[in-house]
Structure 1
Amino acid sequence: MNVKSRLRIGAGVGAVALGLGALAAPAYADPSPATDYRQLAGVGSDTTQDVMNALGDTITNSSGKVIASWNATATSTNPIKTKATGCQIARPDGSGAGITALNTAVDGSTGCVDFARSSRGPNNTTTTDLTFIPYAKDAVSWVKQDGSTLPDNLTTAQLKAIYECTLTSLNGITLTPILPQSASGTRAFFLNSIGVTTPGSCVTSNSTIQENDGSAIDSPGDIFPYSVAQYTAQESFVVDDRRGDAVLGSVNGVGARNDDLTLNLSFPYLRNVYNVVPTAKLSDSLIAATFVGTGSAVCQNTSVITTYGFGALAGDCGSTTLKGES
């Protein structure tokens, strides 16, 4: 039985293990209809757009659904309109772009963006203007092409050398390391995890390479970082399956997932994912009820969070200690 066959069987097993239907309809992050503005508008991370859309469909108050989450990319609707009056903005693609959009809304007092989705912590801690509120656990591993004779396991030292272009072949195959577009939080986290500040000249990266999209992998030497939660959600068909021929690798001899496809908390590249809000808004009753503390609406919906491949955070969910500028 080949690797792809095992993966497709694994998808069915995973759907059962995660309590999902194998033919469950994928979730889409844009509110539908587009005029369903809701109460809190969020943009940013590709990795967390689907789980935040699901939480948007789940979390309500006396005024209706609370969260409107906009996709990182779409084939149409750009710019997006996040509020009923004004607020046409270019669709932010990735954690960094979402945080920039939030800062722009805060600095201009526009109210067009209320929170940013981020799969990384703050890059700039010179101010405490923004608060990064964690709500789930993820990991970032790497993928290769199904059937490639590249090793199934790579060490951190090997990954660092590959992305600095000092290791250019393995098992007789020329390596082609790939990174998603520059605003990607997954890109930033992965490079930090493997100790790479500046990728080498052999690395392929441009604005068209979207994170968590296996179509980037189309030759035996390709290596590409991938959110483990997104990979699981795609494999279990709760979101669009964008894996293509990409299969997950291990790091330092540790697999990213357990046998039941849940996140392996012993994996070396674990990360929190965040909703980022203006620090000045932490006392706002709607922001607080939605995001802040273990009793918040987001933190109380652990079944939704784990359905989308993420791990629960327990006591750390909703913490407001992590602050920064961008």
Structure 2
Amino acid sequence: MRSTLVRILALATAVTALVLPAAAPAGAEPPPGTVPQAHDVVGVGAPLTGTLFDQASTDYDAYVLNSGTGYGSPLLYSWDSWGLTGSYPFTAKSGAYAIQRPSSTDQGIAALNSSTSAEFDYVRAERSLLPTDPATDYFVNLAEDSVGWAANSNGNAPAGLSSADLVGIYTCSILSWNQITDVPGYSGLNVPIDPMLPQPGLELRTTFLRLLGFTGPATPGACVNTSDREDEGTGPVIAGNPNAIVPYSVAHWIGQVYRGRGTGLDNAGRLVLGSLDGISPVGADHAMNPAYVRTRYGYLVSDVVRAADWNGGTPALQNVFGPHGWFCANPLGEADLAAFGFAPLLPGVSCGAARHN
């Protein structure tokens, strides 16, 4: 999913309308040999916001180049995670040293702390700040997401589950649908549940298990199929499987199903999100349910930057991610977030605020 190497070229026309999406769809792979300039704002990292940044960088660059915003000339670029293509060396900026392409938040942060802004500037993060993160890194608030569970429509799963049910399913103490007895009006069939997780190392897997309460290496039970692709419902192990159940990014599902962002393999197929502990992750307005975001399954989506760069070393970072920057204060940037299903930050959480240890 979202595995194609992407560098977004600046558009030659201005963005003038506040609609969803904010501009024409983002382009594909750059022409051979074309890389961002040394002064541009360039990022790598987790796949969750990869397609968002493909579009947002297109919109930002067009806005900067054509509307006289005063943001300055550095452009915004985002390289996708390596996905299925392998972690190979690549050059993110003109004149930079080659780095290994990161595929997750943790790999991105490791690369951030072993390089400088001459190589790249930010990491797309798919998890919240942890106590083990370096104090020299800032997690800059961007939006809210949450993790839910999904099953094929017209399958054997109930419309809702409890957290205890999910723990039982993924520890393999609940093996068949008729063992789920806490859902009013549901009488499950005596057929095996087919719980699935993305492959080890993919971030949705780690986040889902952590939010469920798994600790340490977060090893699921032996009944769990760990060959699923992340945030997709069209793979051969899940498409049409009436007993499959998988974790899913709520924002990504909304983007695929209600915002027209499902394309090719990056598609929900017939997967639908179920309620959890009596709360639906999606509201009647087809946006993320704030009540669900407030549960333990909601989390902040951030971008990670070097403290020295944020505090003056790279002023253009504030133009993109700061409280008065593109995502937090420009209607077009806010529209990009909504177009990919992400929720505005909850009251009391400031967009563009930097969190650190």
Task: Say which SS state the counterpart of residue 84 (structure 1) adopts.
Answer: coil
1:148 to 152, 155, 171: 155
**Counterpart position of 2:67:** none
Question: How far off is 1:123 after superposition?
Answer: 3.7
**Counterpart position of 1:291:** 321
Separation of aligned partners in 1, 2:73 and 2:20: 30
Question: How far off is 1:304 after superposition?
Answer: 1.4
**Counterpart position of 2:210:** 192
TM-score, normalization by structure 1? 0.81
Q: How many residues align?
A: 297
Amino acid at match of 1:213: E
Task: Say which SS state the counterpart of residue 316 (structure 1) adopts.
Answer: coil
Q: Is the 8 A contact 2:151 2:245 kept in 1?
A: yes
Amino acid at match of 1:99: I
Change in Cα spacing, 1:244 to 1:276, as seen in structure 2 (3 Å) is same
Change in Cα spacing, 1:129 to 1:177, as seen in structure 2 (3 Å) is farther
Separation of aligned partners in 1, 2:31 and 2:144: 28
Given the alignment of the two structures, is residue 307 of structure 1 paired with residue 336 of structure 2, yes or no? no
Question: How far off is 1:25 after superposition?
Answer: 6.9
Q: Greater Rg, structure 1 or structure 2?
A: 2
Identity across matched positions, percent: 30
**Counterpart position of 2:284:** 259
CA-based RMSD of the aligned residues comes to: 2.7
Question: How far off is 1:89 after superposition?
Answer: 3.0
Task: Say which SS state the counterpart of residue 225 (structure 2) adopts.
Answer: coil
Change in Cα spacing, 1:148 to 1:32, as seen in structure 2 (3 Å) is farther
Question: How far off is 1:19 after superposition?
Answer: 5.7
Separation of aligned partners in 1, 2:176 and 2:123: 39
Amino acid at match of 2:245: I
2:242 to 205, 208, 220: 220
**Counterpart position of 2:261:** 238
Relative contact order: is structure 1 or structure 2 higher (C-alpha 8 Å, sep ≥ 6)? 1
Question: How far off is 1:277 after superposition?
Answer: 0.7
Question: How far off is 1:94 after superposition?
Answer: 2.5
Separation of aligned partners in 1, 2:59 and 2:25: 15
Note the residue ranges of structure 2 that are not aligned, 5 or more in a row.
Answer: 1-17, 65-70, 178-187
Task: Say which SS state the counterpart of residue 226 (structure 2) adopts.
Answer: coil
Change in Cα spacing, 1:82 to 1:25, as seen in structure 2 (3 Å) is same
Task: Say which SS state the counterpart of residue 104 (structure 1) adopts.
Answer: coil
Separation of aligned partners in 1, 2:31 and 2:112: 22
1:68 to 77, 81, 85: 77
Question: How far off is 1:56 after superposition?
Answer: 1.1
Q: Is the 8 A contact 2:282 2:289 kept in 1?
A: yes
Q: Is the 8 A contact 2:147 2:247 kept in 1?
A: yes
> Which whole-Å deviations, capped at 9, do the CAs of 1:183-210 have from their partners, x for residues lacking one?
433323221222122222222325xx44
Task: Say which SS state the counterpart of residue 72 (structure 1) adopts.
Answer: coil
Given the alignment of the two structures, is residue 44 of structure 1 paired with residue 45 of structure 2, yes or no? yes
Question: How far off is 1:295 after superposition?
Answer: 1.0
Separation of aligned partners in 2, 1:175 and 1:130: 42
Question: How far off is 1:262 after superposition?
Answer: 0.7
Question: How far off is 1:264 after superposition?
Answer: 0.3
Q: How does 1:1-326 map to 2 (within 5 A)?
A: 20=20, 27=26, 35-37=34-36, 39-59=40-60, 60=64, 61-64=71-74, 66-73=75-82, 78-105=88-115, 109=116, 111-125=118-132, 127-170=134-177, 171=188, 172-197=190-215, 198=218, 199-205=220-226, 209-214=228-233, 215=235, 217-218=238-239, 219-235=241-257, 236-240=259-263, 241-267=266-292, 268=295, 269-284=297-312, 285-292=315-322, 294-300=323-329, 301-313=333-345, 316-320=350-354, 322-323=355-356
Amino acid at match of 2:343: G
Q: Is the 8 A contact 2:159 2:274 kept in 1?
A: yes
Note the residue ranges of structure 1 that are not aligned, 5 or more in a row.
Answer: 1-17
